[in-house]
Amino acid sequence: MTTPTARMLLRRRSLLAGALSLGTALTTLGTGAGRAWAADGPLVSGCEAWGARPPKSPVKVLPARAQKILVHHTATPNVTDYGQAQAFALARIMQADQMDVRGWIDTGQHFTISRGAFVTEGRHGSLAALDSGTQFVEAAHCPGQNTVAIGIENEGTYTTEEPRPEQYATLVALCVRICLQYGIRPYQIYGHRDFHNTECPGDRLYARLPQLRADVAARIGGDPTAPVWPVVGTGEVSERVRVLQYLLVQRGATITPDGAFGPATEAAVRAFQKQIEAAVDGVAGNQTWNQLCAPVAQGAAGEAVTAVQGRLTGLGFPTTADGVFGPGTAAQVTAFQGSRGLPQDGVVDARTWSRLIA
Ligand SMILES: [Zn+2]
């Protein structure tokens, strides 16, 4: 959740009492549409269960798996009402805010976990897409990531307080389910602030993310260590600057990848940061790298591939720098991954990127 919405939700607190009674009525009606996964996931109440309005226009279902999970907090009060009616009321308030105030077609996020650990579907179709394991609903929870990342909102404000243990346990269970369905690795669980200029999901919940990745990894396996990105700014001359420049060119910048971070590169970084609504400081850090380092695999072409090929060669895995990710590049990526103890799948994901520029 971003700050403006949070403020709006706080202003709307007074509406909550009225919405609560409506939620109770809906519960009584027993429209219990949702999914329960006895073995590996929590019950999720679908849009019809909590009384969602229809979307303004059809939601976009992408024929692709989600690549990562972004954790948010709603920045609403840390209520002590842990009932399902509160969860349903929150879902309706968020949808109304996002459709009426922000002008979106529907709820922004895919799922919400209430303080009482009830899970609701956000954007229509999110649950069916998750069940398919092969489709993904385009959302509106983080600029630059809405076509690749699942967004999970956690009810509450976690700047100085911790989520309730029940809420956190449900977050773990939901992440496990999503990771299994989409083949997401536990390290690919991030906070909203890793991509966007926001405090979300609050300092305390953000500080729990290494534990969350580890708890998910304990259930499904894999190394939960998230990438660590360098801070690269004006004056630096290096191969990682060259990678940065190639990635910026891939996103439309007109600069020369010469490995020297000068005024043109700084301007390109600022323009990109503005475009993806990161903090605009002209220095490539966590948000900039996370947004730039999209996965590339066999079949891809362009400057990002050229950057990969250049680094592979520089690190002792000679690769023709033709900008086309063919079998030869895939073989060298796989060899490089083996040398660094990474899963050898030939896909340059965020962790492989981070090792290429380390
Ligand atoms: Zn957020």
Q: How far apart are CA 297 and CA 291, in angstroms?
A: 17
What's the CA-to-centroid distance between 278 and ligand 1, angstroms? Answer: 13
Q: Is the pLDDT of residue 271 over 50?
A: yes
Mean pLDDT of 314-339: 98
Q: How far apart are CA 150 and CA 154, in angstroms?
A: 13
What's the CA-to-centroid distance between 73 and ligand 1, angstroms? Answer: 6
* CATH number of the 3-220 domain: 3.40.80.10
Supply the pLDDT for residue 138: 98
Q: Is the pLDDT of residue 265 over 70?
A: yes
Beta bridge partners of 301: 324
Supply the pLDDT for residue 22: 34
At position 30, the amino acid (one-letter code) is G
What's the CA-to-centroid distance between 117 and ligand 1, angstroms? Answer: 18
Mean pLDDT of 106-122: 98
DSSP 228-280: -PPPB-TT-BSHHHHHHHHHHHHTT------SB--HHHHHHHHHHHHHTT---
* CATH number of the 239-356 domain: 1.10.101.10
More confident site: 297 or 34:
297
Q: Is the pLDDT of residue 8 over 80?
A: no
Q: Is the pLDDT of residue 129 over 50?
A: yes
What's the CA-to-centroid distance between 336 and ligand 1, angstroms? Answer: 35
What's the CA-to-centroid distance between 142 and ligand 1, angstroms? Answer: 7
All structural domains of the chain with their residue ranges: 3-220, 239-356
Supply the pLDDT for residue 31: 33
Q: Is the pLDDT of residue 212 over 90?
A: yes
What's the CA-to-centroid distance between 231 and ligand 1, angstroms? Answer: 23
Supply the pLDDT for residue 24: 32
Q: How far apart are CA 48 and CA 34, in angstroms?
A: 8
Q: Which of 210, 201, 150, 208 is nearest to 180 (CA)?
A: 150
If you average pLDDT over each of 20-29, 33-42, 309-318, which comes out highest?
A: 309-318
Q: How far apart are CA 312 and CA 357, in angstroms?
A: 10
What's the CA-to-centroid distance between 326 and ligand 1, angstroms? Answer: 37
- Measured N-to-C along each axis, helices 327-339 and 303-314 cross at an angle, to the nearest 10 degrees, of 50
More confident site: 25 or 233:
233
Is the CB of residue 270 less than 8 Å from the CB of residue 248?
Answer: no
Confidence of residue 16 (pLDDT cuts 50, 70, 90): very low
What's the CA-to-centroid distance between 217 and ligand 1, angstroms? Answer: 23
Is the CB of residue 89 less than 8 Å from the CB of residue 9?
Answer: no
Q: How far apart are CA 323 and CA 321, in angstroms?
A: 6
Q: How far apart are CA 279 and CA 276, in angstroms?
A: 9
Cβ neighbours, 10 Å, residue 10: 12
Q: What are phi and psi of 136, to 5 degrees?
A: -155, 135
Residues in Cβ contact with 140 at an 8 Å cutoff, skipping those fewer than 6 apart: 98, 102, 104, 108, 123, 146
Mean pLDDT of 288-317: 97
Q: What percent of the chain has a predicted confidence (pLDDT) above 70?
A: 89
What's the CA-to-centroid distance between 200 and ligand 1, angstroms? Answer: 5
Q: Which of 212, 227, 169 is nearest to 350 (CA)?
A: 227
What's the CA-to-centroid distance between 141 and ligand 1, angstroms? Answer: 7
Supply the pLDDT for residue 273: 98
Q: What percent of the chain has a predicted confidence (pLDDT) above 90?
A: 88
What's the CA-to-centroid distance between 5 and ligand 1, angstroms? Answer: 10
What's the CA-to-centroid distance between 241 and ligand 1, angstroms? Answer: 29
Q: In which element (H, E) is residue 120 found?
A: strand 119-121
Q: Is the pLDDT of residue 235 over 70?
A: yes
What's the CA-to-centroid distance between 337 and ligand 1, angstroms? Answer: 32
Q: Is the pLDDT of residue 309 over 70?
A: yes
What's the CA-to-centroid distance between 198 and ligand 1, angstroms? Answer: 7
What's the CA-to-centroid distance between 345 and ligand 1, angstroms? Answer: 31
Q: Which of 257, 267, 273 is nearest to 308 (CA)?
A: 257
Mean pLDDT of 73-95: 98
Mean pLDDT of 217-223: 96
Q: Is the pLDDT of residue 232 over 70?
A: yes
Largest CA distance in the chain: 66
What's the CA-to-centroid distance between 306 and ligand 1, angstroms? Answer: 33
At position 169, the amino acid (one-letter code) is A
The tens digit of pLDDT for each residue in 32-48 reads: 355 554 445 799 999 99
Supply the pLDDT for residue 41: 76
Least confident of 35-44, 146-155, 247-256, 276-285: 35-44
Q: In which element (H, E) is residue 281 found?
A: none
Mean pLDDT of 160-183: 97
What's the CA-to-centroid distance between 184 and ligand 1, angstroms? Answer: 20
At position 316, the amino acid (one-letter code) is G
What's the CA-to-centroid distance between 50 and ligand 1, angstroms? Answer: 22
Is the CB of residue 182 less than 8 Å from the CB of residue 65?
Answer: yes
Q: What is the mean pLDDT of the chain?
A: 91
What's the CA-to-centroid distance between 3 and ligand 1, angstroms? Answer: 8
Confidence of residue 156 (pLDDT cuts 50, 70, 90): very high
What's the CA-to-centroid distance between 202 and ligand 1, angstroms? Answer: 9
Q: How far apart are CA 130 and CA 245, in angstroms?
A: 36
Q: How far apart are CA 326 and CA 339, in angstroms?
A: 20
